[in-house]
Amino acid sequence: MKIATIVGARPNFVKLALLHKTMMKEFDCVLIHTGQHYDYDMSEAFFKEFSIPKPDYNLGIGSFPRGEQIGKMLIELEWILKEVSPKLVMVLGDVNSALAGALSAKILNLPLAHIEAGVRYNDMSQPEELNRVIVDRISNLNLCPTPTAASNLDLEGTDGIFTGDIMLDNFLHYSSDSWHQSAPLAKQFIYVTVHRAENTDNKERLQHIATALNKLSKKQTIVFPLHPRTKKMLEQFHLKLEFDVIEPIEYHQSLNFLQSASLVITDSGGLQKEAYFAGTPCITLDKNTPWPETLRSEANILISNLTCDNILNIATMRRVPFRPILSLFGNGKAVENTMILLRSLNA
């Protein structure tokens, strides 16, 4: 069976890691990269780290306003999918490349599978939520990371199958070898990532975040790999971070930080979930989460009213590492379950 997988942004490459290599053993896999992310650190570095073969096609689209970016992807993808003529198109997660990939598949009437289906944030003004809802609605095979995601689809009248979360498969697979390869950092520190448009492109919110981090950095080490979007917006708003930041990092490095940090502060959907997998307390700079499972026992605390004081109050609360319930995310069997479903399509 020929499967065309369409990816484009950093979280997609992490989700590809184990799945793509496993699929390649049994299927004729064609990998299409839209070029949504193009910096070495945001794209090629992950292909190298996970030994994912070079994409068969790279559209090189790059950064544009949302509609224009998706539109440019659609134009190219229609031609490429016609040429490739796959039996199945696969998209992952909720990024713009997933929406463009899904639309182009369905425009050509090709069967579509969505990995990480049914996740809901319940606010359609969030770009990723719009992408998720549309992709799930038009996809033929919705593979859900959690039972909550499957029941979200059920409530919407769409079919979904609980397979587990491929990010947990990756976490379990790679965290064991990252522990062997590099010794965990001895120091306790706060691991921070911020990149969501809702935070970075709003001066007031970004200022609250920057001020809180500056204050925290006087007492604790902060490890903050800076996303290009955040870097650009800090400069544009003339906001200064009074501690050293680092460039975007590899997945293994991020796992190491997650496991050695005393606290994670993030607005990333993926990282708040990985903090949960690692048993590290997390603060999410957002009013809601697409991963309600992480809120159990205050493992993850949302900042619904984002102010500097609110961030500081919660960041200075005493919180201890906890034991995550991994069965909520499928116990690391998502790739195996996905392969069973894909084989059944091939039969």
Q: Which of 21, 22, 24, 38 binds ligand UD1 (CB under 6 A)?
A: 38
Phi-psi region of 285 (alpha: psi -120 to 50; beta: other; left: phi over 0): beta
- Our finding on whether 229 is near ligand UD1 (CB under 6 A) is yes
Question: Hey, which bits of the chain come out as E strands?
Answer: 2-7, 28-33, 57-58, 88-92, 112-115, 141-144, 161-162, 190-193, 222-223, 263-266, 282-284, 300-302
- Our finding on whether 96 is near ligand UD1 (CB under 6 A) is yes
Amino acid at 208: H
Residue from 156, 162, 130, 124 nearest 143 by CA: 162
Pick between residue 12 and residue 152 the one whose CB is nearest to ligand UD1.
Answer: 12
Angle CA(316)–CA(317)–CA(321) in degrees, nearest 5? 110
- Our finding on whether 232 is near ligand UD1 (CB under 6 A) is yes
What is the maximal distance between C-alpha atoms in the chain?
A: 61
- Our finding on whether 74 is near ligand UD1 (CB under 6 A) is no
Q: Which of 111, 228, 279, 292 binds ligand UD1 (CB under 6 A)?
A: 228
20, 33, 195, 208: the catalytic one is: 195
Binding to ligand UD1, residues 192-211 (CB under 6 A): 195, 197
Angle CA(201)–CA(206)–CA(209) in degrees, nearest 5? 150
Pick between residue 94 and residue 136 the one whose CB is nearest to ligand UD1.
Answer: 94
Pick between residue 43 and residue 178 the one whose CB is nearest to ligand UD1.
Answer: 43
Determine how many CB atoms are found less than 10 A away from the CB of residue 251.
Answer: 20
- Our finding on whether 37 is near ligand UD1 (CB under 6 A) is yes
- Our finding on whether 237 is near ligand UD1 (CB under 6 A) is no
To the query of whether residue 195 is one of the catalytic residues in this protein, the response is: yes
- Our finding on whether 39 is near ligand UD1 (CB under 6 A) is yes
Q: In what order do the strands lie in the sheet with 190-193?
A: 222-223, 190-193, 263-266, 282-284, 300-302
Amino acid at 105: A
**Minimal distance, residue 327 CB to ligand UD1, in Å:** 26
- Our finding on whether 106 is near ligand UD1 (CB under 6 A) is no
Name the residue whose CB lies closest to ligand UD1.
228
Which strand (E) or helix (H) includes residue 172?
A: helix 166-181
- Our finding on whether 10 is near ligand UD1 (CB under 6 A) is yes
Q: Which of 1, 24, 42, 185 binds ligand UD1 (CB under 6 A)?
A: 42
- Our finding on whether 15 is near ligand UD1 (CB under 6 A) is no
- Our finding on whether 63 is near ligand UD1 (CB under 6 A) is yes
Decide: 101 and 77 in contact? Cβ < 8 Å: yes
Q: How many whole angstroms separate alpha carbon 14 and alpha carbon 50?
A: 8
- Judged by the rule CB under 6 A, the positions of this chain that interact with ligand UD1 are 9-11, 36-39, 42, 63, 94-96, 127-128, 195, 197, 227-229, 232, 268
* Active-site residue set: 195
